[in-house]
Chains A and B, each alone.
Chain A
Amino acid sequence: GEDVEQSLFLSVREGDSSVINCTYTDSSSTYLYWYKQEPGAGLQLLTYIFSNMDMKQDQRLTVLLNKKDKHLSLRIADTQTGDSAIYFCAPRGRRALTFGSGTRLQVQP
C-alpha cells in the first residue's frame, strides 16, 4: 500500500514562514490533500492539489508538488499562533486517502 512520510514536529516564530514536507510512494495519486487538526477536534480540509499541477496558492497557503520525486510541501506565510495544529498530508489512492503521521506545528509568539 501507499506509504506517506512526514516529520513529526516543526517549531517557528510568529510571522515567519512554515514549510511542512511530505513524501509518498503511490505515483498514481490523483489528488493530494492537506488537512489540519486543532486540539480536541476532527480533521478539516485546508487545501488540495491535483496531480497535474506543480503549485497552488490560496491566500497564505502555497502547495508545491514534485511528482518526479513524489514530494509535496505546504508553505504557510506569516505564520500565526492560530496556525498551531497538526497538519496531515493525504494522497488519494485507489481506495481511500492515506494519511501521513502528521506534523505538529508549534508557533512561538
Chain B
Amino acid sequence: DVKVTQSSRYLVKRTGEKVFLECVQDMDHENMFWYRQDPGLGLRLIYFSYDVKMKEKGDIPEGYSVSREKKERFSLILESASTNQTSMYLCASSSTGELFFGEGSRLTVL
C-alpha cells in the first residue's frame, strides 16, 4: 500500500514563527502536492512538484514556500506564520493520476 506520512498531526505556533511541515512518501512517486483544506472552500493547491528540486506554484502560493531535495520528501515552509494560515494541510503524491493523501497536519497560529 502507498503510504504518505505527514510528520505532525497537530501543531500550534505563534504569529511570526517559521513553520516546517514535512511529508514523506514510500512509493517512488514523481509528483507531490501540498493542499490546504478549509471548511466550505474544499482543498486548494498551494504548491506542487514533478521532480526533485523542481517546484511550481499552485493557486494560493502566497506566504508559503516548498523544498524538494529528495524524491520521497516534500516540505512546506511558512516563513512567517500568520493567523490566516490556520488550517488543515494535506500532502499528496501521485504517479500517473490518482492522488494518495496523508492524514493531514492541523496547524493553529495564535
Instruction: Tell me whether B45 and A42 are in contact (CB under 8 A).
Output: no
Give the residue name and chain of the A residue nearest to B38 (CB): A101
* Residues of B contacting A48 in the complex (Cβ-Cβ under 8 angstroms): 98
Check A41/B103 contact, CB under 8 A, given A88-B43, A99-B35: yes
Instruction: Tell me whether B101 and A96 are in contact (CB under 8 A).
Output: no
A44 adjacent to chain B (CB < 8 Å): yes
In this complex, the member of A31, A44, A48, A97 whose beta carbon has the largest number of chain B beta carbons within 10 angstroms is: A97
Least distance between B91 CB and chain A CB atoms (Å): 9
Instruction: Tell me whether A96 and B104 are in contact (CB under 8 A).
Output: no
What's the count of A-B pairs with C-beta under 8 Å? 49
Number of interface residues of A (CB under 8 A): 24
Overall SS of chain B's interface: strand
A109 adjacent to chain B (CB < 8 Å): no
Interface residues on B, range: 20 to 34
In this complex, the member of B33, B40, B99 whose beta carbon has the largest number of chain A beta carbons within 10 angstroms is: B99
B59 adjacent to chain A (CB < 8 Å): yes
CB within 8 Å of A: which B61-110 residues: 90, 92, 97-104
Instruction: Tell me whether B97 and A31 are in contact (CB under 8 A).
Output: yes
Least distance between A49 CB and chain B CB atoms (Å): 12
A24 adjacent to chain B (CB < 8 Å): no
* Residues of B contacting A31 in the complex (Cβ-Cβ under 8 angstroms): 97
Instruction: Tell me whether A42 and B43 are in contact (CB under 8 A).
Output: no
* Residues of B contacting A44 in the complex (Cβ-Cβ under 8 angstroms): 101
CA distance A42 to B37 in the complex (A): 10
CB within 8 Å of B: which A29-57 residues: 31, 33, 35, 41-45, 48
Question: Please, what's the 1-or-0 string for B31-46, where 1 marks a CB less than 8 Å from any CB in chain A?
Answer: 0010100001111110
* Residues of B contacting A97 in the complex (Cβ-Cβ under 8 angstroms): 99
Least distance between A72 CB and chain B CB atoms (Å): 15
* Residues of A contacting B104 in the complex (Cβ-Cβ under 8 angstroms): 41-42
A1 adjacent to chain B (CB < 8 Å): yes
